């Protein structure tokens, strides 16, 4: 087995002009990043290792990306230049930690195990070696074990592990440094045989897997050396955002804040549409009017797809931003196709279908509520009802309470005529419809939903250093709405009427996606599920807006997902850090362990009270949405 041989030259007599300053910064525990001809040195904080890639980096792009994903790495074209830089860096880091290990990464010349006449895809070659020290041997053993767990989908690794002195891929010049050394070589299985094309998904998997395996090997090395072992190997990952990440983050946020999807597809003639529908004896579908668009969809799409994501150097962040880019593209398409026949399908792609298990759960809730003959309170006098002015006053008090705890919580309130009855959050704004009327006992709960979750996670996300955590990671809305409904329960305002509404929304979305008309769905809501006419109309307005939007199924789905999460012992804090989905829970934990994210500055006010904490503990023991109705 032979690896690719980089062009070798004797060490230059010159020195890199930045090296002295770089060493001073390392001594002081600071970040080092220098670009130079043919390479880059990046150390986001002093660590007891350095990842190295030598040679023409365009010929070994995955080796380059594995290396550049490390928190401490050197990309260099010539071995001579590498030798000039490695020794002084290693000396500083070894003095600081008492130990240091070098990982040399490169690719093999070709994928030798793949043949055209094979009946299946063979394993691919991976060569790992280590110098003779016990710490390096333990690191290699851990590296091999991690690589064996690879999930490269189509092919599995065949690993050749040996002593560095027996490895033909080891660079003798690095052995001459007499430093602890690990060597990694792997077959370029991401390349399409016989072409210059690549398998992009496979390339990403290789980068992620080799990066993760390398971090595990570093942890094994330092543990064997007697150094403190981090809580997780991912703690050895990056703890600093590079400029490319911040530029991409700003650009993504500029596109995300150029429009508000829900405002764009929410009717502005609610009352008139209702009166028209009622005048037809509920037989003619209402006509909805929408605010004119100032958004230039195609221009925003061009801006969105011109954002470079290939220089982020962090596979986790690259994946998050790529997901968000795809989601924003879909949202822009949805707005562009407002009131068209394509709108439903685009909405289905964005929010998913209504799965049978969710329909079953919703029907069970509606049936049990009806069987128990829980009725909405009737005969409430005016003293029991809050109008928009009352809600605004109460909201200002709640905003003030959060502002006292975090002066950057500078949310604003707008009372508007162009919204259906109720409240919504758009960025840092709380929007209140002037038509809003609700029971006073629901005001605190609803504001706990809108302010205590939606605005709270916006401002906590703003404090993370990257705007994507306030804008929202891809798919965040489901868990966000589940948390918001759960906050109503923590605040003591979760009611039978509210739960019935959430379940009815699921059924309404299911009917709409199944092709039912507005009139047919209205008839089902009023006759089969007992909703009064105005409530059924407002519920279906949300579902049929724009041409049919299945968003409202996410409330009950998100709540059920959250309750399962809590029952399984899951924590809530990562969800308060910003706007994230359940699928990103592990990612948030990893980024927090790496030091890239801060603990949430704010937590919902309803958790500051004994009743709220008691309800949370009850949920951790395992409860159903119906059980949340109990005091």
Task: Give the model confidence (pLDDT) of 318-350 as tens digits.
Answer: 999 999 999 999 999 999 999 999 999 999 999
Quick one: average pLDDT of 396-411?
97
149 or 178, greater pLDDT: 178
* pLDDT tens digits for range 591-612: 988 888 999 999 999 999 999 9
Q: Would you place residue 506 in the very low, low, confident or very high pLDDT band (cuts 50, 70, 90)? A: very high
* pLDDT tens digits for range 101-125: 999 999 998 887 665 555 456 789 9
330 or 373, greater pLDDT: 330
DSSP-H helix ranges across 514-602: 518-523, 533-544, 554-567, 573-576, 585-593
Say which DSSP state 407 is in: T
Whose tokens are 């890199």? That residue is 16
**Parallel, antiparallel, or unpaired: how do β-strands 385-387 and 124-130 relate?**
unpaired
Residue 532, pLDDT score: 94
Q: Would you place residue 378 in the very low, low, confident or very high pLDDT band (cuts 50, 70, 90)? A: very low
Residue 374, pLDDT score: 47
Residue 373, pLDDT score: 58
Q: Which residues pair with 198 in a beta bridge?
A: 191
Rounded Cα–Cα distance for residues 20 and 86 (Å)? 13
Rounded Cα–Cα distance for residues 100 and 222 (Å)? 8
| For residue 465, pLDDT beyond 60 | yes
DSSP string, 422-490: SEEEETTEEEEETT-EEEGGGHHHHHHHIIIIIIHHHHHHHTTSSTHHHH--TTTHHHHHHHHHHHHHH
Quick one: average pLDDT of 573-601?
90
pTM: 0.86
Residue 15, pLDDT score: 62
Residue 499, pLDDT score: 97
Quick one: average pLDDT of 535-539?
97
Report whether 566 contacts 620 (CB < 8 A): yes
Residue 382, pLDDT score: 52
Report whether 552 contacts 422 (CB < 8 A): no
Q: Exposed (0-12), middle (13-18) or buried (19+): which is 556, by Cβ within 10 Å?
A: buried
Quick one: average pLDDT of 55-73?
93
Closest alpha carbon to 488 in 630, 606, 622:
606
DSSP-H helix ranges across 35-149: 61-68, 79-97, 134-148
Assign 437 to helix, strand or coil.
strand
Residue 567, pLDDT score: 96
Average pLDDT, the chain: 92
What are the domain boundaries of the chain? 19-240, 353-409+441-629
CA angle 210, 214, 215 (to 5 degrees): 120
* pLDDT tens digits for range 236-246: 999 888 899 99
What is 19-240's CATH topology?
Aminopeptidase (3.40.630)
Q: What spatial distance separates the first Cα and last Cα of the chain, rounded to whole Å?
A: 70
Q: Would you place residue 376 in the very low, low, confident or very high pLDDT band (cuts 50, 70, 90)? A: very low
Quick one: average pLDDT of 26-55?
95
Quick one: average pLDDT of 83-95?
96
Rounded Cα–Cα distance for residues 553 and 550 (Å)? 6
The dihedral sign for the CA sequence 510, 514, 518, 519: negative
| For residue 271, pLDDT beyond 80 | yes
């Amino acid at each position: 087995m032979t690896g690719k041989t980089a062009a070798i030259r004797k060490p230059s007599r010159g020195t890199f002009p930045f090296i002295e300053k770089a060493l001073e910064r390392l001594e002081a525990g600071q970040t080092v990043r220098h670009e130079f001809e043919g390479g880059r040195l990046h150390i986001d904080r002093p660590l007891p290792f350095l990842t190295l890639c030598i040679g023409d980096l365009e010929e070994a792009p995955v080796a380059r990306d594995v290396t550049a994903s490390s928190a401490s790495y050197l990309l260099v074209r010539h071995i001579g230049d590498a030798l000039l830089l490695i020794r002084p860096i290693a000396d500083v880091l070894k003095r600081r930690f008492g130990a240091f290990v070098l990982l040399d990464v490169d690719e093999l010349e070709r994928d030798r195990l793949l043949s055209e006449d094979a009946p299946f895809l063979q394993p691919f070659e991976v060569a790992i070696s280590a110098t003779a020290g016990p710490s390096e041997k333990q690191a290699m053993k851990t590296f091999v074990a991690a690589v064996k767990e690879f999930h490269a989908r189509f092919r599995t690794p065949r690993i050749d592990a040996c002593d560095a002195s027996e490895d033909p891929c080891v660079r003798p010049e690095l052995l001459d440094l007499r430093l602890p050394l690990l060597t990694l070589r792997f077959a370029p299985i991401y390349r399409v045989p016989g072409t210059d094309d690549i398998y992009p998904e496979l390339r990403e998997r290789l980068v992620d897997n080799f990066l993760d395996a390398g971090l595990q090997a570093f942890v094994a090395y330092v543990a064997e050396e007697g150094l403190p072992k981090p809580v997780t190997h991912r703690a050895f990952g990056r703890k600093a955002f590079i400029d490319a990440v911040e530029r991409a983050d700003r650009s993504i946020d500029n596109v995300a804040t150029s429009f508000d999807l829900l405002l764009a597809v929410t009717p502005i003639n609610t009352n008139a549409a209702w009166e028209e529908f009622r005048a037809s004896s509920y037989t003619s579908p209402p006509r909805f009017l929408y605010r004119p668009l100032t958004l230039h969809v195609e221009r925003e799409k061009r801006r969105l797809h011109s954002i470079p994501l290939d220089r982020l150097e962090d596979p986790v962040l690259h994946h998050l931003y790529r997901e968000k880019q795809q989601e924003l593209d879909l949202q822009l398409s949805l707005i562009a196709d407002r009131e068209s026949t394509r709108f439903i399908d685009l909405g289905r792609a964005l929010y998913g279908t209504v799965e049978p298990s969710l329909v079953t759960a919703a029907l069970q809730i509606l049936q049990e509520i009806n069987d128990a003959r829980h009725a909405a309170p009737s005969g409430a006098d005016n003293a029991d009802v809050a109008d928009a002015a009352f809600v605004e006053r109460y909201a200002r008090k709640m905003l003030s309470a959060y502002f006292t705890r975090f002066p950057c919580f500078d949310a604003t309130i707008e009372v508007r005529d162009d919204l259906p009855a109720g409240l919504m959050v758009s960025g840092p704004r709380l929007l209140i419809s002037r038509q809003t009327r609700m029971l006073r006992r629901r005001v605190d709960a609803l504001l706990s939903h809108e302010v205590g979750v939606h605005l709270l996670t916006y401002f906590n996300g703003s404090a993370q250093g990257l705007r994507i955590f306030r804008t929202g990671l891809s798919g965040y809305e489901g868990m966000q709405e589940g948390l918001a409904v759960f906050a109503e329960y923590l605040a003591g305002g979760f009611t039978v009427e509210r739960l019935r509404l959430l379940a009815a929304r699921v059924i309404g979305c299911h009917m709409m996606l199944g092709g039912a008309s507005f009139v047919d769905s209205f008839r089902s809501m009023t006759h089969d599920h007992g909703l009064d006419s105005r409530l059924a109309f407002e519920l279906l307005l949300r579902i049929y807006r724009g041409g049919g939007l299945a968003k409202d199924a996410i409330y009950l789905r998100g709540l059920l997902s959250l309750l399962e999460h809590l029952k399984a012992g899951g924590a809530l804090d990562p969800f308060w850090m910003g706007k994230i989905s359940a699928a990103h829970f592990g990612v948030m934990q990893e980024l927090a362990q790496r030091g890239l994210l801060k603990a949430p500055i704010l937590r919902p006010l309803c958790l500051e009270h004994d009743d709220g904490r008691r309800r949370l503990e009850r949920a951790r023991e395992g409860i159903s949405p119906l059980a949340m109705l109990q005091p």
